[in-house]
Structure 1
Amino acid sequence: MRYPQGGGLTDERRSLREELRWEAAERFSQGDENTVIAHDLRVSIRSVQRWRKAWSQGGPRALASKGPGSLPLLSDELFAVLERELAKGPAAHGWPDKTWTLSRIRTLIGRRFHKSYTAQGVAALLKRHGWSCQVPARRAIERDESLVDGWAKETWLQVEGPWRRSMPGSSSRTRPASR
């Protein structure tokens, strides 16, 4: 089962699903049909079929939650090592500038720990440990507003030309002027 927001079930939702499976197990022992159980519990028929198969092979204990679908690849100890590596900066790891990107951190994790993460997985890992996305300022400190304004008024108009609402041959929703 996939979850579009990038994660699995929370502990609360996992226990709720487990309660549904226990209730389904009671209904299995009563001989109820899969479609009736699915309708009453508001789950898919396929889920009920999987639960019935597990219940018939292993009894009610087979319907117990097995915990989260996946565990973090980096333990807290390994993440502390990663933080020390990140503190050294990208230049220490062979990148030419001073910007950490998710792709670079992913590469660093692969090189240092031999673990494979996706960029989204790296973002989730960092967020889980209290890191946040830092976006640089959009304007350079060296920016001179008077030069930018002059360029926009003079040079850009020469390059682009004046913009007209309608020109001969242009499409328009209005009726052409009569001649």
Structure 2
Amino acid sequence: MTPLVAHTWGRRGHTPVVRGRSWRRWSIAAMCCYKPGGTSRLIYRPRRHRKHREGRNSFAWSDYRDLVVRAHIQFGTPIVLIWDNLNTHRAAGMREYAAAHDWLTIVQLPSYAPDLNPVEGIWSLLWRSPLANVAFTDDEHLERTLRRGMRRIQLQPDLIDGCLTGTRLTPSQRPRTPRRDQ
């Protein structure tokens, strides 16, 4: 993962170049969790992928399912999941899992609507402070910085609330979902 570069410099007449190894990749799945009257929480799971090894290069629907189950166990209440249109979010396995569990309701955001997704605010916070302008020395340095940044956000519920406020929703509002008998 190449960090977002906010500022750079180079010798006069030479274009600065940021180089990295293309076989490394990180994915992060995160959920902003809100319970009316409770403290906002951030649940996340980072994963390192290596292209040269066998396996997926991203999260599978089952990984997202496990994250949702983790949130359900932590909160002990039904989950209303508001998701963007990532293909793994719309996978048949995920739809079947949601249909089989009455504690899970999935609401799909419209296409190209990042302003309605609170997690986009989390990514913005992460890219602007701990990951900006860092040349990582190795995978462990990146992982430490990434986890430290996510933990910093996780420990400040006001930051998570700000991400929800940016969507113009409040924890007491419930999204309207179509009835299944229609």
Query: How high is the TM-score relative to the length of structure 1?
Result: 0.22
Q: Which has the higher helix share?
A: 1
The one of the two structures with greater contact order (alpha-carbon pairs below 8 A, sep at least 6) is 2
Scaled by the length of structure 2, the TM-score of the pair is 0.21
Structure showing greater radius of gyration is 1
